[in-house]
Amino acid sequence: MPGIRIIAGLGNPGEKYRRTRHNIGAVFVEDLAARFGITLAEDSKFKARIGRGEVFGHDVRLVLPTTYMNESGQSLGAVQRFFKLEPAEFLVCYDEVAFPPGVVKLKFDGGHNGHNGIKSVIAGFGNRRDFVRLRIGVGHAGDKSKMISFLTSVDMPRAEVDQVEDALRFDDRVFEELFSGDLQKAMTCLHSSTEQQSE
């Protein structure tokens, strides 16, 4: 498969959402930008903050949609069409309620599993699902009726933030394998470095 050329982080815009569980994907990509000195500038044609730079010797663009989560596909679809990329060249990072904090997994293809951001991305890619996902565990509210508040209205507790940050300090070889197009090696490296088993 092709190597990853775009790393996108999903979230909601505005400071009030920044520390919520739903924004963990966006925060991860912002941290990547800071780590590699990549400036993220707002670009209205993409409805995103976007920056380009070198990550482990590879030319990569980082993208943070400035839409609300459920319209993320407007942004990523525009990026895909403008740069004439395949969905498989995207790594989309987002919160995953199926995993507890501290669990991070890679996945290729599949449905949206109720995640409105991923549902929108699939639509934005012309109903194509063949992109890579970095699923960052944030836990579950325990009651479906409380899920929206759990994800968007409450700041993530410090203890959970620490668990997620520890899990996201995975081996740099994960990125190197993703950029080289070897997803299986990237998955093996990630899941072994975080002492997890692939699904």
Phi/psi at 195 (5° precision): 55, 45
Active site residue 22: yes
In sequence order, the 6+-apart residues with CB closer than 8 A to the CB of 120 are 69, 70, 71, 72, 73, 74
Q: 22, 58, 112, 191: which one is catalytic? A: 22
Q: How far is CA 199 from CA 45, 144, 181, in A?
A: 37, 23, 20
Pick left, alpha or beta for residue 8 (phi over 0 → left; psi -120 to 50 → alpha; otherwise beta). Answer: beta
First to last CA, the chain: 20
- For residue 158 the two structure tokens come to 């410090």
- For residue 46 the two structure tokens come to 């993409």
Q: Which residues are catalytic?
A: 22
